[in-house]
Structure 1
Amino acid sequence: MPQLNPFPHDGEGGLGPSASAKGWHQGYVAAVSSPSAPPRTPLVRSTEFMDAFELGAAAGRADGLAEGWRWRYFGEDARTGDDTGQGPQPAQSPAEPVNAGEGGPARADYPLAWHCVGAAALRVLLEQFAPGSDREFPGLRLDRACADKGVLGLYLPVRLVPRDPPAEPTGDPLADQGYWHGTATDSLADAAAEGPDGPDAPATRAPAFLGLVRYRPAGEHDFWDVLPAGGRMPPTRG
């Protein structure tokens, strides 16, 4: 079982989560996706944040060693796998077969799921599935929203190769990095049927390299999977 944040996620008096809660969470995410070495503790004004970051990093590294590392696909420090386009190495991001019984029949071109971690994709899912929710700790908020609505999982179609980001930020965590995405749904079949060739998708001459973000409730953790077309991950911009 993944270790849990020992600090309260919800602050008292409407002040939001504590620096310790944020620090532990960020340390955990950084470490559970860092198989090579523990992440450096950031230098910030809050000693509570730094101390909690170190605790979270220790927990994330222990979970990574015990249960497998998780790939940070979206984000400025996303791991891009090797240079051949074959995708991340199993030691970094273990793959598993897609369960064809989830949300309808799985398409043949989504055979594998790569384990990932990070807030960007979950914030998009949260905005679409439970608009108005607090975007702090999106995994926790999504877990609660799925429980409230009786949903076992969510899927989001994405283009796994980014284009240039928009000139003006839109507030969409994926679109602002240049990633096209579709609409969140609890049906694998419906998500797989949506692609960038639709009327709202940007035109491009490049291969689509479509994938699906799959979220399955994971408690407080920002865990999700990416289902790449053909089980392959394309190289990203470096």
Structure 2
Amino acid sequence: MPQLNPFPHDGDGGLGPSASAKGWHQGYIAAVSSPSGLPRTPPARSTEFADAFELGAAAGRADGLAEGWRWRYFGEDARTGEETGQGPQPAQSPVEPVDAGEGGPARAAYPLAWHCVGAAALRVLLEQFAPGSDREFPGLRLGRACADKGVGRLYLPVRLVPRDAPVESTGDPLGDQGFWHGTATDSLAVAAAEGPDGPGAPVTRAPTFLGLVRYRPAGEHDFWDVLPAGGRMPPTRG
């Protein structure tokens, strides 16, 4: 089982996670997606944040070694967890694909999954599935929403959009990273119909078609999977 954040998630007066909780969370994400070694602790005014980052990084490193590494596919910075605006990074996945575990017709269309981590995809799912306060960690809030609604999985069709120049920020966590995305749903069949395997897909699939983001409740962690159409390596920039 993945290790959990030992610091309080809710600050005094409903102000959100404490500096220590944020530090541990960011350290964990940075380390569980960095098989090459422990990430450096970012400069921080808060000693509590920096100390907790190191603890979170140690936990993420241990979980990566024990349970497998995860990919920061949508280009979030390794140390801060913020989007970089550079699209998916790095160009190659640090993890190996696994059986997606989907049944029925989808098994052939989406046979493989890459385990990922990061907030961008979850923020889009939250905006559509459970809009509300953004003070909590996205994975924590989305997991609670799924439990409240009795939903075990969510799917989001996603496509990498060709672009030659940076785009202006719109506040869309994936759009600003250079991705088109569809509508969040708890049905893989509905998501696939809107995605690259849907009726509107071109006869010859362009390599920019990614596939589906799949979320399965993972407690407080910002975990999710990418299921590329046809089981191909997910497309990247850089």
Counterpart secondary structure, 2:181: coil
Q: Of 78, 84, 90, which aligns to 1:79?
A: 90
Per mean C-alpha deviation after superposition, the further-off stretch among 9-18 and 164-173 is 164-173
Query: Which residue number in structure 1 is paired with residue 96 of structure 2?
Result: 94
Query: Which residue number in structure 1 is paired with residue 131 of structure 2?
Result: 131
Q: 1:110 to 1:33 in 2, by over 3 A?
A: same
Could you tell me which runs of 5 or more consecutive residues in structure 2 were left unpaired when the two chains were aligned: 78-88
Distance 1:29 1:94 in 2: 18
Deviations 1:65-109 (A, max 9, x none): 00000011002452221xxxxxx3xxx3232212233xx641522
Distance 1:164 1:76 in 2: 20
Amino acid at match of 1:125: L
What is the TM-score with the length of structure 2 in the denominator? 0.86
Following TM superposition, the consecutive aligned residue runs of length 4 or more in structure 1 with deviations greater than 6 angstroms are: none
Amino acid at match of 2:96: P
Distance 1:133 1:35 in 2: 33
Query: Which residue number in structure 2 is paired with residue 214 of structure 1?
Result: 214
Q: Which runs of structure 2 are paired with 1:6-45 in the superposition (5 Å)?
A: 6-45=6-45
Deviation at 1:195, TM superposition (A): 2.7
Query: Which residue number in structure 2 is paired with residue 154 of structure 1?
Result: 154
Counterpart secondary structure, 2:213: strand
Per mean C-alpha deviation after superposition, the further-off stretch among 38-47 and 92-101 is 92-101
Could you tell me which runs of 5 or more consecutive residues in structure 1 were left unpaired when the two chains were aligned: 82-87
Deviation at 1:134, TM superposition (A): 2.0
Q: RMSD in angstroms over aligned alpha carbons?
A: 2.3
Query: Which residue number in structure 1 is paired with residue 111 of structure 2?
Result: 111
What is the number of equivalent residue pairs in this alignment? 223
Deviations 1:128-179 (A, max 9, x none): 0001232541000000000000000100000145535774311110001110
Distance 1:50 1:13 in 2: 23
Deviation at 1:7, TM superposition (A): 0.4
Amino acid at match of 1:63: D
Amino acid at match of 1:9: H
Asked if 2 retains the 8 angstrom alpha-carbon contact of 1:123 and 1:135, the reply is no
Q: 1:167 to 1:209 in 2, by over 3 A?
A: closer
Amino acid at match of 1:190: V
Counterpart secondary structure, 2:109: coil
Identity of counterpart residues, as a percentage? 85
Distance 1:197 1:42 in 2: 41
Amino acid at match of 1:175: G
Q: 1:10 to 1:105 in 2, by over 3 A?
A: farther
Asked if 2 retains the 8 angstrom alpha-carbon contact of 1:161 and 1:235, the reply is no
Counterpart secondary structure, 1:226: strand
Query: Which residue number in structure 1 is paired with residue 59 of structure 2?
Result: 59
Distance 2:29 2:113 in 1: 19
Q: 1:162 to 1:75 in 2, by over 3 A?
A: farther
Per mean C-alpha deviation after superposition, the further-off stretch among 188-197 and 2-11 is 188-197
Distance 1:80 1:112 in 2: 18
Asked if 2 retains the 8 angstrom alpha-carbon contact of 1:105 and 1:188, the reply is no
